Amino acid sequence: MARRIILAGGGTAGHIEPALAVADALRKIDSKLELEFLGTSSGLEQLLVPQRGYLLRTIPKVVLPRKISLSAILFPLKLIGGVFKARKIVKGADLLIGFGGFVSATAYLAARLAGVSIALHEANARPGWANRLGRHFAKVVAVNFENVRSDWSGSILTGMPIRKAITEVAHLSETERKKFRELHATTWGFDSSRPIVAIFGGSQGSLQINEAVASYLKNSDREIQILHAVGSNNPLPPAAPNYLPMAYFHDMASVYGAADLMITRSGAVTCSELMTVARFALLVPLAHGNGEQSENARELVEQGRALLVSNQEFNGDWLVKNLKQVVELARSKRLEASELHLHAADRIAKLALGAN
């Protein structure tokens, strides 16, 4: 009988994309595996998981309250209810692989009650509560940052599972990258001989970043070419000379391969992709959760791969005063591609299969 494996993680691309990469690696190892995803009915997984040909099962989202409120009082009841619903799904599975996020804590508890083996991957430099809980039940704990490996005894540094198209960009020669840049710059209506800056605020977009870009465009000479993902739920601004807005960067490989500078949040996936493709970035950490984005950014800043600007400081005036200098710095950098993440999905898949 084929082994049944459930991958739990949802809400944002930062949890879903690594899970999908590991699922693809599992499928490559054994095409007979029955692979299912556990997520929510409202997260990005509703779109991404079925697109990749995987079955998605949903349970209620359970968010850990961070202050005293009615939701804090109701949290234990919501968690218990979610665990019972998740247990019905995971019962009889051979393995659960968790990636953090809104469903993982519920899934870990359900798998523990159902006697299902657990493996997990922690993407962030500062782990969230779900994986801090789950690691105590897991047979395999894979991590993306060295500081987490040091803190979590028995964990294994694997890096971050990232998309194959992005790892292919990392292997382009200088000649190939130049042609790659020319091709995509032309597609965007840009001049490949002039600076290109790509700006995006994560899978949901960022109102703060979008407002900063709008202000910059009103008050600058627009010499720099800007590719801007505003977020699928945000209004799309009109295109203008040297400015091309999009709802979402569906082809991140082309953006990484063609842009001189990335201006972005510092989610764990983004930071790992930046290291893999050796692209310099201006990071604007999102001040939410337990501060993991600032921690994620720290390693890139210490390695000279990025500059960090606080969310409060980043606005149109900052861009007018500093963007040209940052672009010049980015174009002068000769960064080496990190190989840590290139085969992370395969490593995690093999480790997880060994846990069962």
How many whole angstroms separate alpha carbon 277 and alpha carbon 337? 6
Determine the Cα–Cα distance for residues 342 and 277; give it in Å rounded to an integer: 10
Inform me whether the pLDDT recorded for 149 exceeds 90. yes
d(CA 164, CA 154): 28
User: What's the confidence (pLDDT) of residue 319?
Assistant: 97
**Quick check: 63 pLDDT over 80?**
no
The stretches of 223-291 forming alpha helices (DSSP H) are 252-258, 268-277
Neighbours of 101 (CB within 10 A): 26
Cβ contact 101:15 at 8 Å: yes
Query: Taking 80 as the threshold, does the pLDDT of residue 196 lie above it?
Result: yes
Tally of CB atoms within 10 A around 12: 18
Identify whether the C-beta of residue 264 lies closer than 8 Å to the C-beta of residue 281: yes
The mean pLDDT value for 160-164 works out to 88
280: Cβ contacts below 8 Å, ≥ 6 apart = 260, 261, 262, 274, 305, 306, 329, 330, 333, 335
Higher pLDDT, 237 or 65: 237
Instruction: Give yes or no for a contact between 14 and 45, defined as CB atoms under 8 angstroms apart.
Output: no
73: confidence class by pLDDT, cuts 50, 70, 90 = low
- Please say if the pLDDT value at position 106 is more than 90: yes
Enumerate the CATH 3.40.50.2000 domain ranges in the chain, comma separated.
Answer: 4-161+342-355, 164-332
Residue among 1, 2, 6 nearest 31 (CA): 2
| Intra-chain end-to-end CA distance of the chain, in Å | 14
- Report d(CA 214, CA 201) in Å as an integer: 14
CATH 3.40.50.2300 fits domain 164-332: no
- Residue 45 pLDDT greater than 80, yes or no: yes
pLDDT digit string (tens) for 223-280?
Answer: 899 999 999 888 999 999 999 999 989 899 999 999 999 999 999 999 999 999 999 9
**pLDDT tier for residue 158 given thresholds of 50, 70 and 90:** very high
CATH architecture of 4-161+342-355: 3-Layer(aba) Sandwich (3.40)
For residue 98, name the pLDDT band (cuts at 50, 70, 90): very high
* 2: pLDDT strictly greater than 90: no
The pLDDT, as a whole number, for residue 65 is 59
